[in-house]
A = this chain, B = another copy of it.
């Protein structure tokens, strides 16, 4: 029997799409980006249901309740010349913060990285994310500020491609 506050991590299982969506929504709301969230629960079931070795999601539970998630996929580093791991999202639901859930998820992702023989994992965060920075620097991550996120979509993408 696990204690009520025990943290367990499991892989995404078919039907977990709604759980994952709730966590991505919590993350989006934290960053005032909820208007950009257009994913559906079934999108996640489609993307993470089959384990194709290219991407995956971990769900953290505290006392058996969903508490957080980590979403990752393989990336390619041109400086390294090899595959590395990209951490797309790390989210902990507000009521489960400050209990080590984020750290437990980061550890699981680091193990995934090592299992695959990838020498590095990377992610992007907002420089203003102090809670994230404290966690990541505490784990020995290098954090380099001064970056910009660039995106081309919709009419601009269509115009360029035409």
Contacts and interface: CB of A to CB of B under 8 A. Distances in A.
Contact of A150 (B47, B136, B159): B136
Nearest to A121: B152
A64 to B, nearest CB: 24
Interface in A94-130: 106-107, 110-111, 113-114, 119-129
A71 B78 contact: yes
Contact residues of A: prevailing secondary structure? mixed
B150 A147 contact: no
A93 to B, nearest CB: 15
Interface in A28-85: 28, 33, 36-40, 43-44, 47, 54-55, 71, 73-83
Interface of A: 24, 28, 33, 36-40, 43-44, 47, 54-55, 71, 73-83, 86, 88-89, 106-107, 110-111, 113-114, 119-129, 133, 136, 139-161
